[in-house]
Structure 1
Amino acid sequence: MNAALVLALAMALDAQVGEPRWLWSRLPHPAVLMGRAVGWLDTRLNTGPNARTRGVLAVALLVGGAALIGWTIAQAGWVIELLVAAILLAHRSLVSHVAAVAHGLRQSVDEGRRAVAMIVSRDVSASSPSQVARAGIESLSENFSDGVIAPAFWFLIGGVPGILIYKVVNTADSMIGYLTPRHAAFGWAAARLDDVLNWIPARLTGALFAAIGGVPRDWPNISSDARLHRSPNAGWPEAAMARALNIALAGPRSYHGKVEDLAWVNASGQQELRPADIDAALSMVWKAWGLTVGLLGLVGVIFWVF
């Protein structure tokens, strides 16, 4: 079976099953194993001088190990490839967590804060209902790219080795790719490679949102807004989502007790957001998921038949 059809089935399986607790309460999730590998290399290699060189070595070991494990898994056939891809995709988990933010906000602002604190790193302890909703929509937009479109893209390009390489690099970036005294040099390679691997998927995600939202003609404005983001990639899905829903995203927020005066994305859009806006963003993401699965399935069937 070809990669496009396997990927379409894997995306459908992930959306239906997600991450069953009965399984991952008994076995370590692959993401957990990747995190342990990153942590072990951080402990062993992030010492002494030449931290950047040691960080490059760490990433090379992670990528090489992922490629080797992925190649070995691929020898088992397409059914195993499908299961591995489904496990490494995160659509069901993502939409469930963000839907919980909307549900929490409908109960109280404290419930909304508790729910959104599970998926964002910013300080939400004093966030207004609108800020909580905005954080949820931003996380949904960015993580649909990182957790669904990017791993799907790299599976399509490189099969199981491709998706494993992407996931281990993305895990490394989330753990050591920060400008802290300990990781600014050591995590440089992980952060830069993650930027490279997400470059195309982030823009594909933005294009999906723009097309589904009926705002493809706004692409020049989406491009301009995306460049306001401090990440070279995260701004694209956020900017497209903002234009598609005519809402304002980004803006000032607090990290570790310090307020950062970030620029607004689509500043002329609606700034006071509500749970209904989260619902609209979730609908957008489901449509983007459906369009992606449909296109992959169509391409896969064509290649299978002809």
Structure 2
Amino acid sequence: MNEAALAAFGPAIEVCYDPSLVDDPERLRREVAQADALIVRNRTRVDLSLLDAAPKLRVVGRLGVGLENIDLEACAEKGVEVKPATGANTQSVVEYVIGAMLVLRRGAFASTKGVLAGDWPRAVLGAGGEIHGLTLGLLGFGSIAQAVARAASALGMKIAAFDPYLPEGDPAWSTAQSCDLEELLAIADVVSLHVPLTQTTKGLIGPNALAKMKPGALLINTARGGIVDEAALAAALREGKLAGAALDVFGNEPLDRTAAAVFDGCLNLILTPHIAGVTQPANIRVSQVTVENVLEVLTDASI
């Protein structure tokens, strides 16, 4: 996290800031034994075992928004509040999604080495596409997806979304065509995922869903690994069923050589190490919001 944000705790609160604790579970358990608060990113498993080691714990601050690494039921049973940094990294994710669409659709931004070597592939690279007029399909239509929709609309895209949990009367639907999943996959030129990893969404974008996508479509996943069947996606890319994809999250993280081998031979593919919501400005915002969230609980005399 951004260390400067820790100053807001002031002298009255003792802070142990040690990012290496995530890789040393036993030492982490010793450190949380007297802790009133714990701040984590996505790699620390806040499970019953860790909670049992922290009997004084009152709040878990999450540097981000994904909560699949935190046992919410166990936290509730023990009276531990869970505070994600909601909204703090939205802009970073929005810019990642828009940027990925532009790069994948245009297909012209990996030519520097060739141009410097004297190549001049103007005819090939001049045949790229645009996103204006295309349909962006958003799987999940929460706050981040709605922000993506606003940015994409400003660039002339049409917006469609599938979200069975967003009420029909929600004002957000005035900005997007509401679809079921099959319709969304069929009409979208770009499908961007914005759902949590649950038993319902695990493997949701597998062979069947990919087969229903529009030929030549793009897929972008900044949500969670495990939602996309990576082998099936790689096959769709190699066979030319899809025109490209951008993955920021994977079923196993970090992605090792063995897991990455499934993507051998795939063209127009962007792979990044779970950083869509991580930029320098976003990290500052996320850190500040997390500290504020934790302080709010620690200074609430009623707790």
Larger RCO, structures 1/2 (Cα 8 Å, 6+ apart):
1
Structure 1 and Structure 2 fold alike (TM over 0.5) = no
More helix by share: 1
TM-score (norm 1): 0.25
More strand by share: 2
